[in-house]
Protein backbone atom coordinates (compact mmCIF):
# COMPACT_ATOMS: atom_id res chain seq x y z
CA UNK A 1 0.00 0.00 0.00
CA UNK A 2 1.20 3.46 -0.91
CA UNK A 3 2.21 5.78 1.91
CA UNK A 4 1.69 9.45 1.21
CA UNK A 5 4.36 11.97 1.95
CA UNK A 6 2.12 14.34 3.90
CA UNK A 7 4.98 16.58 4.88
CA UNK A 8 5.83 17.26 1.24
CA UNK A 9 2.18 17.82 0.30
CA UNK A 10 1.47 20.20 3.18
CA UNK A 11 4.70 22.16 2.67
CA UNK A 12 4.04 22.69 -1.03
CA UNK A 13 0.39 23.60 -0.38
CA UNK A 14 1.30 26.22 2.24
CA UNK A 15 4.08 27.69 0.09
CA UNK A 16 1.81 27.80 -2.98
CA UNK A 17 -0.95 29.52 -0.98
CA UNK A 18 1.51 32.11 0.37
CA UNK A 19 2.92 32.76 -3.10
CA UNK A 20 -0.59 33.09 -4.58
CA UNK A 21 -1.62 35.50 -1.81
CA UNK A 22 1.49 37.60 -2.40
CA UNK A 23 0.85 37.74 -6.14
CA UNK A 24 -2.73 38.92 -5.54
CA UNK A 25 -1.71 41.52 -2.94
CA UNK A 26 0.95 43.00 -5.23
CA UNK A 27 -1.55 42.89 -8.09
CA UNK A 28 0.67 40.75 -10.30
CA UNK A 29 -2.19 38.37 -11.18
CA UNK A 30 -5.89 38.30 -10.49
CA UNK A 31 -7.27 36.03 -7.71
CA UNK A 32 -8.57 33.38 -10.12
CA UNK A 33 -5.19 32.85 -11.77
CA UNK A 34 -3.43 32.85 -8.41
CA UNK A 35 -5.85 30.20 -7.12
CA UNK A 36 -5.30 28.13 -10.28
CA UNK A 37 -1.51 28.32 -9.88
CA UNK A 38 -1.73 27.28 -6.21
CA UNK A 39 -4.04 24.38 -7.11
CA UNK A 40 -1.69 23.26 -9.87
CA UNK A 41 1.27 23.35 -7.46
CA UNK A 42 -0.65 21.32 -4.88
CA UNK A 43 -1.75 18.77 -7.49
CA UNK A 44 1.83 18.45 -8.69
CA UNK A 45 2.95 17.86 -5.11
CA UNK A 46 0.34 15.13 -4.65
CA UNK A 47 1.37 13.48 -7.91
CA UNK A 48 5.03 13.72 -6.90
CA UNK A 49 4.22 12.10 -3.56
CA UNK A 50 2.16 9.36 -5.20
CA UNK A 51 4.92 8.38 -7.63
CA UNK A 52 7.72 8.48 -5.08
CA UNK A 53 9.94 5.63 -3.96
CA UNK A 54 8.30 2.42 -2.78
CA UNK A 55 11.37 1.00 -1.04
CA UNK A 56 10.18 2.06 2.39
CA UNK A 57 12.24 5.21 2.48
CA UNK A 58 10.72 8.35 1.00
CA UNK A 59 14.08 10.04 0.50
CA UNK A 60 15.93 7.46 -1.59
CA UNK A 61 15.31 6.33 -5.14
CA UNK A 62 14.91 2.66 -5.92
CA UNK A 63 17.92 0.99 -7.54
CA UNK A 64 18.18 -1.55 -10.32
CA UNK A 65 18.85 -5.05 -9.05
CA UNK A 66 22.48 -6.07 -9.31
CA UNK A 67 23.26 -9.14 -11.38
CA UNK A 68 25.86 -11.41 -9.82
CA UNK A 69 29.08 -11.71 -11.82
CA UNK A 70 30.64 -15.14 -11.93
CA UNK A 71 34.41 -15.05 -11.65
CA UNK A 72 35.53 -18.30 -13.25
CA UNK A 73 39.13 -19.38 -13.48
CA UNK A 74 40.45 -18.18 -16.83
CA UNK A 75 37.20 -16.36 -17.52
CA UNK A 76 38.29 -12.88 -16.61
CA UNK A 77 37.36 -9.94 -18.74
CA UNK A 78 40.90 -9.35 -19.98
CA UNK A 79 40.07 -9.76 -23.66
CA UNK A 80 37.10 -7.42 -23.38
CA UNK A 81 39.17 -4.83 -21.50
CA UNK A 82 41.93 -5.12 -24.09
CA UNK A 83 39.43 -4.67 -26.90
CA UNK A 84 38.01 -1.53 -25.33
CA UNK A 85 41.47 -0.05 -24.71
CA UNK A 86 42.62 -0.43 -28.34
CA UNK A 87 40.52 2.36 -29.84
CA UNK A 88 40.28 5.97 -28.75
CA UNK A 89 37.26 8.24 -28.98
CA UNK A 90 38.20 9.30 -32.49
CA UNK A 91 38.10 5.70 -33.78
CA UNK A 92 41.85 5.47 -34.25
CA UNK A 93 44.15 3.10 -32.42
CA UNK A 94 45.51 4.51 -29.15
CA UNK A 95 49.13 5.54 -28.70
CA UNK A 96 49.66 2.82 -26.12
CA UNK A 97 48.84 0.08 -28.62
CA UNK A 98 50.90 1.74 -31.37
CA UNK A 99 53.94 1.89 -29.07
CA UNK A 100 53.55 -1.82 -28.28
CA UNK A 101 53.34 -2.74 -31.97
CA UNK A 102 56.39 -0.61 -32.80
CA UNK A 103 58.32 -2.30 -29.99
CA UNK A 104 57.24 -5.71 -31.30
CA UNK A 105 58.40 -4.80 -34.82
CA UNK A 106 61.73 -3.54 -33.48
CA UNK A 107 62.25 -6.76 -31.51
CA UNK A 108 61.46 -8.92 -34.54
CA UNK A 109 63.82 -6.89 -36.73
CA UNK A 110 66.59 -7.21 -34.12
CA UNK A 111 66.01 -10.97 -34.07
CA UNK A 112 66.69 -10.94 -37.83
CA UNK A 113 69.92 -9.00 -37.28
CA UNK A 114 68.57 -5.58 -38.29
CA UNK A 115 68.97 -2.59 -36.01
CA UNK A 116 65.80 -0.47 -36.46
CA UNK A 117 67.55 2.63 -35.11
CA UNK A 118 70.30 2.42 -37.76
CA UNK A 119 69.41 4.44 -40.89
CA UNK A 120 71.79 2.26 -42.95
CA UNK A 121 69.69 -0.81 -42.11
CA UNK A 122 66.50 0.78 -43.44
CA UNK A 123 66.66 -1.01 -46.84
CA UNK A 124 66.86 -4.38 -45.07
CA UNK A 125 63.93 -3.49 -42.81
CA UNK A 126 62.00 -2.29 -45.86
CA UNK A 127 62.70 -5.59 -47.61
CA UNK A 128 61.36 -7.60 -44.66
CA UNK A 129 58.36 -5.47 -43.66
CA UNK A 130 57.53 -3.69 -46.90
CA UNK A 131 58.02 -0.03 -47.77
CA UNK A 132 54.49 1.05 -46.90
CA UNK A 133 54.42 -0.72 -43.52
CA UNK A 134 57.82 0.68 -42.55
CA UNK A 135 56.77 4.20 -43.58
CA UNK A 136 53.54 3.89 -41.56
CA UNK A 137 55.36 2.53 -38.51
CA UNK A 138 57.67 5.55 -38.55
CA UNK A 139 54.79 7.99 -39.06
CA UNK A 140 53.23 9.80 -36.12
CA UNK A 141 49.74 9.66 -37.65
CA UNK A 142 47.28 7.64 -35.54
CA UNK A 143 46.52 4.46 -37.49
CA UNK A 144 43.17 2.88 -38.21
CA UNK A 145 42.30 -0.71 -37.36
CA UNK A 146 42.96 -1.79 -40.94
CA UNK A 147 46.44 -0.23 -40.86
CA UNK A 148 47.27 -2.02 -37.61
CA UNK A 149 46.12 -5.30 -39.13
CA UNK A 150 48.51 -4.70 -42.04
CA UNK A 151 51.33 -3.99 -39.58
CA UNK A 152 50.67 -7.14 -37.57
CA UNK A 153 50.44 -9.26 -40.72
CA UNK A 154 53.82 -7.94 -41.89
CA UNK A 155 55.40 -8.57 -38.48
CA UNK A 156 53.93 -12.05 -38.37
CA UNK A 157 55.35 -12.84 -41.83
CA UNK A 158 58.81 -12.15 -40.42
CA UNK A 159 58.42 -15.25 -38.29
CA UNK A 160 60.94 -16.29 -35.72
CA UNK A 161 64.58 -15.37 -35.99
CA UNK A 162 66.49 -17.49 -38.50
CA UNK A 163 68.62 -20.20 -36.97
CA UNK A 164 72.37 -20.00 -37.33
CA UNK A 165 72.39 -22.80 -39.93
CA UNK A 166 69.89 -20.93 -42.12
CA UNK A 167 71.86 -17.72 -41.61
CA UNK A 168 75.09 -19.34 -42.88
CA UNK A 169 73.55 -20.63 -46.09
pLDDT at 23: 93
What pLDDT, in 10s, does the model give residues 74-86?
666 666 767 777 8
Average pLDDT of every residue of the chain: 82
Enter the pTM of the model: 0.50
What pLDDT, in 10s, does the model give residues 89-124?
888 888 888 999 999 999 999 998 888 888 898 999
Q: Which of 80, 83, 105 is nearest to 94 (CA)?
A: 83
Give residue 18's pLDDT band: very low, low, confident or very high (50, 70, 90).
Answer: very high
The CA–CA distances, whole Å, from 141 to 46, 50, 67 equal 60, 58, 42
More confident residue, 37 or 167: 37
How confident is the model over 21-46, as a mean pLDDT? 93
Q: Which of 47, 164, 165, 50 is nearest to 113 (CA)?
A: 164
% of the chain beyond a pLDDT of 70? 80
More confident residue, 79 or 60: 79
Give residue 47's pLDDT band: very low, low, confident or very high (50, 70, 90).
Answer: confident
pLDDT at 57: 52
Question: What does the alpha-carbon distance between residue 133 and residue 120 come to, in Å, rounded to a whole number?
Answer: 18
DSSP result, the chain = -PPP-HHHHHHHHHHHHHHHHHHHHTTSS-HHHHHHHHHHHHHHHHHHHHTS--SS-SSS---PPPPP----TT--SHHHHHHHHHB-TTSSBPHHHHHHHHHHHHHHHHHTT--TT-GGGHHHHHHHH-HHHHHHHH--SPP-HHHHHHHHHHHHHH-SPPPHHHHH-
Amino acid sequence: MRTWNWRRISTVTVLAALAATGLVIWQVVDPWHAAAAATLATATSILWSATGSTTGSTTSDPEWPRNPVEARAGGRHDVSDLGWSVFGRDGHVTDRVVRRIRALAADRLRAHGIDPADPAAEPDAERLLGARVLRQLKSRQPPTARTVKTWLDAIERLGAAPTTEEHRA
